[in-house]
Each structure stands twice: as structure tokens, then as C-alpha cells.
Amino acid sequence: MGSVKDYFSSLGTGIVSLLQGMQVTGKEFITPKVTERYPENRDTLEIPKRFRAVLTLKYDAEGRHKCICCGMCQRSCPNGTITVEGKMVDMPDGKKKKKLDKYIYDLGSCTFCQLCVTSCPTNALEFSNDFEQAVFTRELLVKKLNYLPEQPDPVPAPKPAPAADAAQPTTNAKEN
């Protein structure tokens, strides 16, 4: 007798579950449908500001980026999407400084987690919302982000020469 009772109890639970699912489906039948007219509506298409499409280096008005080639973004990337290559250069003051040589980004393996952006100490990276990145081969998804030619660093002003002592007499060529 207990098994018949369990059977009808589970049958009633199944019917309630079915009706709840049909209620969700029924709501979708009566909601108005929206059709995107892409690519015809590119001019009026609204893309959310927080949408992450492709990683870019930030450049200032003079064509310089803020990347100091520390490698934090490369180390924080969970799947090796970023490769940062630096080179040592001699500065005018005689010191050596590490400069960015190549910043390689593989869009095809990026998970858009934004760990590289949040770990950057100089705030040199950002995600753009340019979502049109379709290509025919995966090799075209590998991009060099430092595409602008490297701008020279500002040269420090030369130190002023010490002034000549006014106390010392100057020798004149005509005096013998």
C-alpha cells in the first residue's frame, strides 16, 4: 500500500514541476520579440561600457604608453595569453632602464577575466568594447599591442656649468 501512495505523491510532484516549467515557457510566448538588425544598425547599436572585447595599451597624446615592462599582467594571466618582452636601454644620465620591446596578446585564448588590467601597477591596460574581431585564421588573433613607434624619453636638462671665479684675474694676450 505504501508504494501506491509514494507513486501518486511523486506523480503529483512531477505534475507541479511540469506546470512551473510550462509557466516559464508560456511567459516567453507572450513577451514581445526584439530583432537585432546587425550590421544595418551599427550606428545606433548600444554596447555596454563594461563589455570586454579586446585588450589594448593606453597611449597618451604624445604617443607614449605607460607600460614599464614589469610582467605583472603576464604572470596574472591564467592561461598564458600575454607575452611581454623587454630590453635594457642606456639612459642619457648613464643609468640602465628596462623598456617594452614587444607586447604580444593572443585574443583567441583570452578568457576576458580582466586580471591583467587589475594587476597592472601603472594602469597601462584596458579592454575596449570593439567586438568585431572575426578573422579566418587563428594566427590573426595574435596581436602586437605596442604598435606605435617608440617615442624617445625626455632628455633631462644639462647641469649648468660652474661660473668662472671673478676673483681670479684674466690674462690678456697683449700683456707680456
In tens, the pLDDT along 39-89 reads: 888 888 888 888 999 999 998 888 888 899 999 999 999 999 999 999 988
For the four alpha carbons of 22, 27, 32 and 33, in that order, the dihedral sign comes to negative
Cα separation of 114 and 120, whole Å? 10
Residue owning grid cell 617594452: 100
Cα separation of 143 and 105, whole Å? 5
For the four alpha carbons of 66, 71, 76 and 82, in that order, the dihedral sign comes to positive
- So where are the chain's domains? 54-144
Q: What's phi and psi for 63, nearest 5 deg? A: 85, 20
pLDDT at 35 over 60: yes
Q: Residue 176: its pLDDT value, please?
A: 46
Which amino acid is it at 105? Answer: Y
CATH class of 54-144: alpha beta
For the four alpha carbons of 98, 119, 50 and 130, in that order, the dihedral sign comes to positive
Backbone Cα Rg of the chain? 33
Joined grid coordinates for residue 92:
642619457
Q: Residue 16: its pLDDT value, please?
A: 93
- The mean pLDDT of 86-99, rounded to a whole number, is 86
How far is residue 105 from each of residues 17, 96, 114, 121, measured CA to CA in Å? 48, 27, 13, 18
146 vs 166 pLDDT, higher one:
146
User: Mapping DSSP to helix (H, G, I), strand (E, B) and coil, where does residue 74 land?
Assistant: helix
